[in-house]
Amino acid sequence: MTIAYLMAIVNSMGVIIPPWSMVYTHTSDLTKDEKAIRDAYNVGYLLVETIKTLKSRGVHIGYKPGINVEDLAKLASTYLNHVRGERELRIKYLESIIEKNKNSQHRVFS
């Protein structure tokens, strides 16, 4: 678990953690663990491909402190209102099913 915490900390500092970024083995001699050798090769390969992909974009990828927070808050509020509305519709639909069930001779729920 220690590595997971460390990865979370350095990621929050801006470190990009490439996909499939760690290799594990349970043997004392790594050369006898074919899966670990294959995994180690692929970690290196994916690390290089991730770096090449990021560099090819030609733009800085990082934290943007100058974004318009008011616009983002409005967008989040609009989305939350939509989700709340959808939730209310689902609740009303389920309540109508329960009410029909109460009045029906053929009960869906017991």
CA–CA gap between residue 75 and residue 17 (Å, rounded): 29
Same domain, 10 and 49: yes
Containing structural domain, residue 77: 67-110
Question: Looking at 17-21, 41-45, 63-67, 88-92, which range is the least confident one?
Answer: 17-21
- The HSE-up count of residue 10 (CA atoms within 13 Å, CB side) is 9
**pLDDT for the residue numbered 83:** 95
> Looking at the predicted structure, is the pLDDT value of residue 54 above 80?
yes
CA–CA gap between residue 99 and residue 91 (Å, rounded): 12
Q: How many domains does the chain have?
A: 2
pTM as predicted: 0.49
| Cβ neighbours of residue 50 closer than 8 Å, sequence gap 6 or more | 16, 18, 19
Same domain, 75 and 104: yes
